[in-house]
């Protein structure tokens, strides 16, 4: 079981976010780290793969919940001491704060409280950067000590793309798993010269790599339907995003043509007319550079109401305010209810009212903390005030 624990509102949430800003720059210099499909495409354009090599992808089993606390702390301290970047806190203080975040993994389920004893919490801001630090440490040790020649090693979080000589795949796989008994890798080897990675299908032909768009066998052609109660801008973005992906991933004229024909059928199946498809598939996708002296644009997020939201967007546009529409209700809100509901007195971020027992007056307050804690403070302040009055009298 891999519990996904939301840290929002927890005592260590802000601390985890702060540590993330400190530790994130330590991971940015790795030559193996991928940020996106575009990074992968650019990294494989000039790679040459020998004929006796096969494409292989390695994936870590349950990465976040498999990382031992001591390994996380050890790898992080090593990364800090190797870095030449100035840090806002001494190393020992950073490690103490990180230890607090990694061990404060409490959550509530079915009215009972639990503590995660192993691994990093899925949902903590700092867990992502800790997982990256651990993966960089393991891959550096594995690649520097392996006997095989590895022509490329590209990794997106815990999913790695590489090439290994066909008769050394088992040995290299075992070598990876020997780096740490808790961090174990699974593998997928190319079939018929092809291997999926991210949203690319990579082909191994004539020592070079070719790419086209990959879809899982469980993929359906269901997209945001034209008749759905969503802003037109969201529907246009759906078409432009898939069209741009085809242009990015497909590296030949034939594969791009096939992908565009497929997308046109899918858009039509989701009730988009030809004119709307044509306008959004031929729209430029390059980002226009903005002048540094231009007034910065502010974004306002508002619930989407057809007709009204579009008018609000047009009114605010001259004031450099961009409107982002969000659905009033989503399927996720209707179908999922995974978190326990707190009792009113245990909730945070509440407005409360206290009636006076001696008159008609009342006090209305707002607190971002636990309501029970705030009410206790009111009682303590009341008792303290009475004692001070008696002392003066």
| DSSP annotation string for 240-251 | HHHHHHHHHH--
pLDDT of residue 292: 46
Which helix (H) or strand (E) segment is 254 a member of?
Answer: helix 253-269
Backbone angles phi, psi at 112, to 5 degrees: -115, 150
> What is the C-alpha to C-alpha distance for residues 160 and 173, in angstroms, rounded to an integer?
12
According to DSSP, residue 345 is labeled: G
| DSSP β-ladder status, 194-197 and 106-109 | unpaired
Phi, psi of 254 (to 5 degrees): -65, -45
Instruction: Tell me whether strands 298-303 and 321-326 are parallel, antiparallel or unpaired.
Output: parallel
CA distance 173 to 155: 15
State the Cα–Cα distance between residues 155 and 131, nearest whole angstrom: 12
In sequence order, which ranges of 24-163 are alpha helices (DSSP H)? Answer: 37-44, 63-66, 69-82, 91-103, 125-145
Query: Which residues does 28 contact at the CB level (< 8 Å), separation at least 6?
Result: none
pTM for the model: 0.82
Question: 91 near 81, Cβ under 8 Å?
Answer: yes
Taking the C-alpha atoms of residue 105 and residue 7, their distance in angstroms, rounded to an integer, is 9
Q: Residue-wise pLDDT tens for the chain (393 aa)?
A: 566 777 777 888 999 999 999 999 999 989 999 999 999 999 999 899 999 999 999 999 999 999 999 999 999 999 999 998 889 999 999 999 999 999 988 887 787 888 888 889 888 999 999 999 999 999 999 999 999 899 999 999 999 999 999 999 999 999 999 999 999 999 999 999 999 999 999 998 888 999 999 999 999 999 999 999 999 999 999 999 999 999 999 999 999 999 999 999 999 999 999 999 999 998 655 444 444 445 557 899 999 998 899 899 999 988 899 899 988 887 777 776 666 676 767 777 788 888 887 888 888 888 877 788 888 888 888 777 655 544 443
E runs forming strands in the chain = 53-60, 106-109, 112-115, 153-156, 159-165, 185-189, 194-197, 200-205, 208-213, 298-303, 321-326, 350-355, 362-367
Q: Where are the domains of the chain?
A: 12-35+58-152+169-188, 298-332, 350-384
Helices (H), 282-363: 308-316, 331-335
**Distance, first Cα to last Cα, the chain:** 63
């Amino acid at each position: 079981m891999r519990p996904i624990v939301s840290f929002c509102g927890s005592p260590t949430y802000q601390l985890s976010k702060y540590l993330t800003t400190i530790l994130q720059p330590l991971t940015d210099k790795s030559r193996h780290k991928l940020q996106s499909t575009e990074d992968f495409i650019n990294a494989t354009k000039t790679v040459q793969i020998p004929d006796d090599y096969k494409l292989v992808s390695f994936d870590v089993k349950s990465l976040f919940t498999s990382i031992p606390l001591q390994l996380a702390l050890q790898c992080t301290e090593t990364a800090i001491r190797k870095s030449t970047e100035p840090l806002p806190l001494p190393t020992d203080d950073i490690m103490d704060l990180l230890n607090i975040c990694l061990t404060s993994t409490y959550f509530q389920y079915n009215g009972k409280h639990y503590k995660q004893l192993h691994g990093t919490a899925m949902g903590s801001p700092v867990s992502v950067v800790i997982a990256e630090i651990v993966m960089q440490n393991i891959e550096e040790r594995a690649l520097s000590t392996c006997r095989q020649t590895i022509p490329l090693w590209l990794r997106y979080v815990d999913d790695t793309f590489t090439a290994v000589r066909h008769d050394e795949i088992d040995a290299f796989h075992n070598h990876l798993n020997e780096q740490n008994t808790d961090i174990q890798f699974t593998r997928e080897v190319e079939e018929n010269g092809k291997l999926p990675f991210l949203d690319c299908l990579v082909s191994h032909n004539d020592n070079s790599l070719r790419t086209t768009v990959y879809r899982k066998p469980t993929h359906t052609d269901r997209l945001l339907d034209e008749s759905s109660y969503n802003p037109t801008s969201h529907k246009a973005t759906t078409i432009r995003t898939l069209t741009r992906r085809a242009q990015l991933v497909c590296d030949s004229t034939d594969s791009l043509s096939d992908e565009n024909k497929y997308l046109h059928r899918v858009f039509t199946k989701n009730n988009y007319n030809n004119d709307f498809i044509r306008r959004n598939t031929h729209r430029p996708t390059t980002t226009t550079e903005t002048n540094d002296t231009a007034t910065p644009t502010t974004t306002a997020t508002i619930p989407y109401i057809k007709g009204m939201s579009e008018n609000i967007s047009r009114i605010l546009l001259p004031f450099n305010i961009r409107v982002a529409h969000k659905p009033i209700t989503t399927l996720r809100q209707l179908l999922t209810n995974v978190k326990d509901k707190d009792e009113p007195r245990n909730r945070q971020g509440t407005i409360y009212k206290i009636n006076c027992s001696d008159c008609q007056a009342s006090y209305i307050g707002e607190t971002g903390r636990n309501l029970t804690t705030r009410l206790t403070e009111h009682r303590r302040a009341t008792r303290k005030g009475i004692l001070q009055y008696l002392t003066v009298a």
